[in-house]
Amino acid sequence: MRAAGDTKVVRGIEVRNDPAREPCFTIVHLHHDVPDAGNETVEARQMRAHREYNQEVQTLEVAALCLVDFPDAPWELRMELARQCWDEARHAELSLRHLEGLGGWKGMFPIANLDWSVVAMLDSLPARLAVQHRTFEAGSLDIEIAAVPMLYDMGHDGHAEMTDAIEADEVQHVRFANEWLKRLTDAQPRAVLQVAAAMAWLRRLVEATSLDPLKVIATNDETRQMAGFSRAEVAHVASMDQPMPDPPGAANSGPSDD
Ligand SMILES: [Fe+2]
Ligand SMILES: [Fe+2]
């Protein structure tokens, strides 16, 4: 678990300090400070590949932290998390090769580690599965699955194939989290409260920061059902399709220094 003082404050909310990064990286603290110019130009594609690389590294770090922080979790769940570490490491390597194939390099754009900073604050495994897997990874899954035909249409076949292969792994990550959340909350009613508190805290964070609300609310019905969400759950998430308003003072982003 986190040591005292291992936190920072972003838009008035205490989150975990950034994970270690090589000196080549410039770290920013909100997603909207990470450059994103769509998919059309080579520079825009380099930006996307750079973001995806750091995203995969963060996801690896979160899964590894769950193994470190919860040594008494059921063995089968720890095996799922260990397999996930292997998957995310391969995804990071693929993303880095893709970036380099586009003429890019590590550190060419700023990065943000907000997913890590949010999930690593949660002190129960059910809460982390609910936020990291069931919300962040499921949301990314929806977006990336939708991107595959678009990438083929644009003639980026290699990127489309890579994304398709990665998302096949991601379905399994969301599925095991859904299965284990049901088992853990059935066995221990207190876990329901931990999940509810984590989701309420996440909502505050989305409202206060530029944590990508699309990632939290986008849905792809078919993929979500493959990943173990019930029809009712998919319908509930799909109904949350109102864009979140930009918080007041959005232009003055950045962490406080305490
Ligand atoms: Fe991944
Ligand atoms: Fe994943």
What is the per-residue pLDDT across 98-124, written as a single tens digit (0 to 9) for each? Answer: 999 999 999 999 999 999 999 999 999
* Ranges in the chain, pLDDT < 70: 1, 3-4, 210-227, 229, 231, 234-258
Strands (E), 113-177: none
Distance between CA 139 and CA 237 in Å, rounded? 10
246 lies in some domain: no
Which residues are registered as beta bridge partners of 16?
7
Check residue 175 and give its pLDDT. 95
Distances (CA, A) of 118 to 188, 196, 233: 24, 15, 23
pLDDT at 100: 98
In a domain, 253, yes or no: no
Which tokens in the block code for residue 144?
């990336």
pLDDT of residue 236: 61
* 249 in any annotated domain: no
Structural domains of the chain, count: 1
256 within domain boundaries: no
- CATH number, domain containing residue 100: 1.20.1260.10
Residue 152 Cα to ligand 1 middle (Å): 20
pLDDT given at position 209: 78
Query: Who contacts 190 (Cβ-Cβ below 8 Å, separation ≥6)?
Result: none
Name the residues around ion ligand 1, CB cutoff 5 A. 56, 88, 91
In the reported structure, the alpha carbon of residue 256 is separated from the centroid of ligand 1 by a whole-number distance in angstroms of 30
How many Å apart are CA 176 and CA 180, to the nearest integer? 6
What is the structure's pLDDT at 256? 38
Query: For residues 100 and 209, what is the distance between their CA atoms, to the nearest angstrom?
Result: 31
Distance (angstroms) between ligand 1 centre and the Cα of 53 equals 9
pLDDT value of position 6: 92
Range of the domain at 55: 7-239
Nearest ligand, measured from the Cα of 144: 1
For residue 162, being part of any structural domain is answered with yes
